[in-house]
Copies of this chain bind each other. A is one copy, B any other.
Amino acid sequence: MGEGKGARLSDVAKAAGVSQGTVSNVFNRPQLVRAEVREQVRMAAERLGYGGPDPKGRLLRAGKVNAIGVATSEPLGYFFEDPFARTLMQGITEACDANGTGISLVSAISEEALAWNMHNALVDGFILFCLVGADKLIAHSRERKLPFVALAFGETDDSISIIGIDNVAGARLAARHLVDLGHRRFAVLALEFEDGRAGPADLADVEAAIYPAPRERLRGYFEVLANAGVDVATVPIYNTLNEPETVAAGLEHIFSLKEKPTAILAQSDRIALEAMTWLRRRGYAVPRDVSVVGFDGVPEAALSEPPLTTISQPITELGRRAVNAILNPQAKPVQEYLEIELSVRGSTAAPRS
């Protein structure tokens, strides 16, 4: 038996004594083929150890991959670790399951890796996690000339499709809640302003921030604080990398200052949750000594002790819509901003007088 490597469709055709087209039909639209011939072809396939048409071949001719790429400029592990990313993926996977679409994870440990991965990903479109590194992600997607949609992109830009929330409005809600409770001394634990930079920041840094989500959220906070008569120039801001170590470092920094805050504005639930852990360990009671408000509304936030007050995004809905945007691409880019809301839970209270 001439076993080269694996049998091809054309080998089966030859063996069964029919044309390639017929074999293709046997596997893809069997009802078009007479039962007798069908059986013949099936047996020939069996005999040759042919397991059905190779998707590589089909792809080229038929065009659709039936998979959508989810891209981030973080390492792949991000999708399984970060609570916000995971919740977003829940929405995305739900919609993909419903549409019979697969998911390809595209990520980057380096800049070239990202470029290469995005240029070579076998997908029908991209969903971009734009919290960090949005510009690169968008540039590569453009080059691929595939439909794409930006998630968690902080900026407005009507040349691309965006599905997200109004960061400024969300941040206002958070700050207003604390102001209404009577707080006047604040600290901000922010997301990255630019690639990999952690540490204290000031107002000038905010305006120069490359990543828009942290910048916009800060604007919302400070708008409300300023209106409430707080001197925002004295509010400490610390850039974290959205993980335990830099959050701890930030709190270390903030609580070593003369004026200790009574309320912490955290730019993500992950930061907020981590902050609560740190505070408890240091003997600060939440919310008695310090109030904490998060941002995102991940499921974990409702289960912490105390449960976290936060700005809830309709995270899974964002994911669902992103998938739809890719699967039914519109002629013009679309921007959808979904409703956020303040979820008041146990981590905030009036400051001790």
| A residues apposed to B, CB below 8 Å | 6, 49, 51-52, 55-60, 63, 65-67, 75-77, 79-81, 86, 89-90, 93-94, 96-98, 100, 102-107, 109, 113, 116-117, 119-122, 142-145
By the criterion CB–CB under 8 Å, are B122 and A56 in contact? yes
Contact residue among B6, B59, B90, B122 (Cβ-Cβ distance under 8 Å from A67)? B122
Q: Which residue of B lies closest to A89 (CB)?
A: B80
Q: List residues of chain B with CB within 8 A of the CB of A75.
A: 93-94, 97
For the complex formed by this chain, how many copies does it contain in all? 2
Given contacts A76-B103, A77-B90, A81-B86, 14 further A-B contacts (CB under 8 A): A51-B119, A51-B143, A51-B144, A52-B119, A55-B119, A55-B121, A56-B63, A57-B60, A66-B120, A76-B94, A80-B80, A93-B105, A97-B109, A102-B105
Contact A104 B103 (CB under 8 A): yes
**Could you name 12 residue pairs across A and B whose Cβ atoms are closer than 8 Å?**
A52-B119, A52-B143, A55-B120, A58-B120, A59-B122, A76-B94, A77-B89, A79-B93, A80-B89, A81-B90, A97-B109, A102-B121
Q: Which of B76, B89, B102 contacts A97 (CB 8 A)?
A: B76
Residues of B within 8 A of A109 (CB): 97-98
CA distance A122 to B113 in the complex (A): 20
Find chain B residues with CB under 8 A from A55 CB.
119-122
Assembly CA distance A116 to B94 (angstroms): 18
Q: Please state if B51 and A145 are interface contacts (CB–CB under 8 Å).
A: yes
**Cα–Cα distance between A66 and B117 once the two chains are bound (Å):** 9
User: Which residue of B has the minimal Cβ distance to A57?
Assistant: B60
Instruction: Please name all residues of chain B whose beta carbon is closer than 8 Å to the beta carbon of A117 when the two chains form the complex.
Output: 100, 102
Rounded to whole angstroms, the CA-CA distance of A94 and B65 in the bound complex is 25
Contact of A145 among B6, B63, B100, B107 (CB under 8 A): B6
Closest chain B residue to A109, Cβ basis: B97
Shortest 9 CB-CB contacts between residues of A and residues of B: A76-B93, A51-B143, A80-B89, A103-B105, A77-B93, A80-B86, A55-B120, A122-B122, A104-B104
Q: Which residues of B contact A77 (CB under 8 A)?
A: 89-90, 93-94, 97
Contact A76 B96 (CB under 8 A): yes
Per the bound structure, the CA–CA distance linking A81 and B75 in Å amounts to 19
A106: nearest chain-B partner, CB-CB: B102
Q: Taking the nearest CB of chain B, how far is it from the CB of A124, in angstroms?
A: 11
Q: Say yes or no: B107 contacts A105, CB within 8 Å.
A: no
Residues of B within 8 A of A103 (CB): 76, 104-105
Q: Nearest Cβ in chain B — how far from A188, in angstroms?
A: 26
Of all chain B residues, the one with the shortest Cβ separation from A6 is B145
A11 to chain B, nearest CB (A): 14
On chain B, the residues within 8 Å of A105 by CB distance are: 93, 102-105
Query: Are B122's CB and A100's CB within 8 A?
Result: no
When distances are taken between beta carbons in the complex, the residues of chain B under 8 Å from A94 are: 75-77
Say whether A102 contacts B102, CB under 8 Å.
no
Known: A51-B145, A66-B120, A145-B6. A113 touches B100 (CB 8 A): yes
Known contacts A80-B80, A80-B86; A65/B97 CB under 8 A:
no
Q: Are B116 and A100 in contact (CB under 8 A)?
A: yes
For A62, give the chain B residue with the smallest CB separation: B56
- Known A-B contacts A97-B77, A97-B107, A100-B113; the reply to A60 vs B51 at CB < 8 A is no
